[in-house]
Amino acid sequence: MAKSNAEINQITEARMHMGLKAPSLITFLLSFIVMMAVMFAKFFGAKIPLLNENTEFAGLLLAYAVLALGCLLRSL
């Protein structure tokens, strides 16, 4: 039984779409905790080890990277 062009196109299109999913609770919480730590250090003057004025952007970037990888990869 031969597949029609429409079926072949649908299968090909389904394979080409990036499969995004919601991040797991642990991934989301890890990202949220890192983000909140940076915010508390920036706006409330909290002293957090390894986090100073020079590394705040890197901390936010890390939080976003964890969240993005959690959405893109199935194992996180």
Q: For 5-29, write each residue's pLDDT tens digit.
A: 777 666 666 565 666 788 889 999 9
Could you tell me the maximum CA-CA distance found in the chain, to the nearest angstrom?
69
Interatomic CA distance for residues 76 and 63, integer angstroms: 14
Q: Are 27 and 67 in contact (CB under 8 A)?
A: yes
Q: Which helix (H) or strand (E) holds 56?
A: helix 56-72
Please write the tens of the pLDDT for every residue from 52-75. Answer: 888 889 999 999 999 999 888 876
Predicted local distance difference test score (pLDDT) of residue 3: 67
Q: What is the mean pLDDT of residues 38-60?
A: 87
Nearest of 60, 19, 54, 23 to residue 38 by alpha carbon: 60
* 24 φ, ψ (degrees, to nearest 5): -70, 165
Predicted local distance difference test score (pLDDT) of residue 48: 82
